Each structure stands twice: as C-alpha cells, then as structure tokens.
C-alpha cells in the first residue's frame, strides 16, 4: 500500500494482526500478514510557514538489519479516533527512503513540501514498506507545529 488515501473505514486504516493497533515486533520480519512489518516512530514535525512551506518529519524505524525501507507520510486534521495515538491516511504528504544499520535501526529527518497553500497545521503519521512490498500499520500521529512562531518564554524579559 503505497501513497494511498484511506478514509471512513470505521477502524484502523491498515490493520495487520488481531483487530486493533498492534505493537512493533522486537525482531522483524515476523510471521503474519505483511511479515508484521514494524511501523516507524515519529518524533517531530515542525512546519516552516503556517499554511504552506515545508514540514520536517523526524523519527526512527526498527526493522530487519541492513535493509532499505520506504517511509510514506500522511497528513490529517486529527489522529485516528478508533485507535488513540495512531495516525490516519487522509492525505498522502510525501515519502523518503531509509536504510537500517546492522542492528536494524534507522533514524530519519526529511523535508516535505506542503502541497498547496492554505493547508492548516494538522497531524502527520507514516508507514514503512520493505523492498519486498510489506507495509506496516500506520504509526503514531504527531502534531505539526509552526517553526515560525516566536519564542514566548522570555517575552516579558529575563529575571
């Protein structure tokens, strides 16, 4: 499942195992649908420009050692209310490729151009797809934050 829009399912957009969100596997691939491909863990998504510009999506993936994975990022206004903390695939935002190290770990940070003016800040989530085409469930959703907001911590001075 690459670069698709999924909506109004009444449940997770991609569900690999028993009904509901599954945890990542300690070692991957595992036995099950799509080899129970692990999903990425997103950590931040600052956006330069409130309604356009670029979002910098950062996170990590633990999966098979020394392997390449496609990371597809999705945008939505809210997280998935059927699986708290998980994202939705309302709108395909962009993609990149990561390579895991010998321990199966990869960190990533890549810039995605906001596709049109007027797109409000929302939440992003992602999937990971192996070279053999196994796609993960959609990961945690995180809020985009404006990187152009002023730092208000010291707005009244410094004591």
* Predicted local confidence at residue 107, as pLDDT: 98
Is 65 within 8 Å of 103 (Cβ atoms)?
A: yes
* Predicted local confidence at residue 57, as pLDDT: 96
The predicted model scores a pTM of 0.82
Judge whether 153 lies within some domain: no
Judge whether 12 lies within some domain: no
* Domains: count for the chain: 1
Judge whether 80 lies within some domain: yes
CATH of the domain at 103: 2.60.40.10
Helix (H, G, I), strand (E, B) or coil at 23: coil
Judge whether 9 lies within some domain: no
Strand 142-143's sheet: what is its strand order?
91-99, 68-76, 123-130, 142-143
Judge whether 20 lies within some domain: no
What is the residue range of 102's domain? 33-146
What Cα–Cα distance (Å) separates residue 92 from each residue in 5, 9, 48, 149? 6, 16, 19, 26
87 pLDDT exceeds 70?
yes
Strands (E), 63-141: 68-76, 91-99, 105-113, 123-130
* Predicted local confidence at residue 152, as pLDDT: 52
Judge whether 70 lies within some domain: yes
């Amino acid at each position: 499942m690459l670069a698709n829009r999924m909506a109004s399912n009444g449940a997770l957009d991609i569900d690999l195992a028993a009904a509901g969100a599954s945890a990542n596997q300690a070692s991957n691939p595992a036995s099950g649908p799509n080899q129970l491909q692990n999903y990425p863990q997103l950590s931040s998504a600052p956006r330069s420009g409130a309604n356009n510009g670029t979002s910098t999506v950062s996170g990590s993936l633990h999966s098979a050692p020394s392997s390449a994975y496609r990371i597809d990022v999705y945008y939505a206004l809210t997280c998935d209310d059927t699986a708290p903390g998980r994202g939705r695939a309302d709108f395909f935002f962009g993609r990149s490729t990561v390579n895991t190290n010998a321990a199966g770990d990869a960190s990533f940070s890549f810039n995605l151009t906001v596709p049109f003016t007027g797109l409000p800040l929302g939440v992003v989530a992602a999937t990971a797809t192996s070279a053999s085409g196994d796609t993960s469930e959609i990961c945690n959703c995180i809020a985009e934050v404006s990187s152009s907001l002023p730092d208000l911590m010291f707005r009244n001075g410094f004591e």
